């Protein structure tokens, strides 16, 4: 019989999300279950429903954690005083964290709430953070916010495709070697399209 938890709501939530992350890393979305998460958190499944919500709510918590880590990784990469160097570094950081966390990355971008259920506003703000980070670190390279936003949208979609192909072992069909040089070429191409010298 599962013993009743004595953890605070915050501690129980953290433990549940830790277990959800562990399960996703091992087996992807299909490995998640309330029963396994509750067992690891030393509580009944009903307690999780009362404290956190259903499995979709747990996934939202996990995706928020993944997004925050992604944003922090991008922020650390944007250390150069040169905006073009920041853009290149962030592009590599994005691909790097995606390749290193394939299952979590897939869950973040593939998960959808059931029809009729709205994404809470607090999660919308968290999900916007990586894009805002890239925009803020890239802004100095562009003449206007609009030009910067257009560039960020294009490069984000392109890098998303690189990671999606890489983590499914399909990128090697298109390129030889690692993704590093391909990312450099991809960023340079988009910079030139924005009338920015990639070597400046």
Range of the domain at 114: 55-193
Alpha-carbon distance 56 to 160, whole Å? 23
Number of domains in the chain: 2
What tens digit of pLDDT does each residue of 150-166 get? Answer: 999 999 999 999 999 99
Tens of pLDDT, residues 18-63? 999 999 999 999 999 999 999 888 888 899 999 999 999 999 999 9
pLDDT digits (tens, 9 = 90+) for 81-126: 999 999 999 999 999 999 999 999 999 999 999 999 999 999 999 9
Among 21, 36, 53, residue at a domain's last position:
53
Residue 103 · residue 25 · CB < 8 Å: yes
**Other C-beta atoms within 10 Å of 82: how many?**
12
Question: For residue 198, what pLDDT band results from cuts at 50, 70 and 90?
Answer: confident
Do 8 and 61 lie in one domain? The reply is no
CATH number at residue 116: 1.10.357.10
Q: Does residue 17 have a pLDDT over 60?
A: yes
- Which of 53, 70, 93 corresponds to the end of one domain? 53
What per-residue confidence (pLDDT) applies to 8? 84
Task: Choose among 121, 91, 115: nearest CA to 188.
Answer: 91
69 part of a folded domain: yes
Q: Is the pTM for the entire model greater than 0.75?
A: yes
CA 114, CA 198: separation in Å to the nearest integer?
Answer: 43
The answer to whether residues 47 and 79 belong to one domain is no
């Amino acid at each position: 019989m599962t013993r009743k938890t004595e953890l605070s709501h915050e501690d129980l939530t953290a433990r549940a999300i830790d277990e959800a992350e562990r399960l996703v890393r091992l087996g992807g979305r299909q490995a998640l279950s309330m029963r396994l998460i509750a067992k690891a958190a030393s509580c009944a499944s009903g307690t999780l429903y009362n404290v956190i919500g259903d499995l979709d709510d747990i996934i939202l918590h996990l995706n928020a954690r993944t997004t925050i880590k992604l944003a922090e990784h991008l922020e650390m990469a944007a250390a150069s005083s040169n905006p073009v160097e920041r853009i290149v570094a962030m592009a590599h950081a994005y691909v790097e964290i995606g390749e290193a966390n394939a299952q979590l990355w897939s869950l973040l971008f593939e998960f959808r709430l059931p029809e009729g259920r709205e994404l809470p506003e607090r999660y919308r703000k968290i999900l916007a953070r990586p894009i805002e980070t890239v925009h803020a670190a890239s802004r100095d390279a562009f003449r206007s916010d609009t030009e910067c936003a257009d560039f960020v949208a294009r490069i984000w979609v392109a890098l998303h495709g690189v990671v999606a192909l890489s983590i499914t072992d399909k990128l090697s069909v298109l390129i030889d070697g690692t993704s590093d040089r391909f990312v450099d070429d991809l960023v340079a191409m988009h910079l030139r399209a924005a009338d920015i010298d990639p070597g400046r």
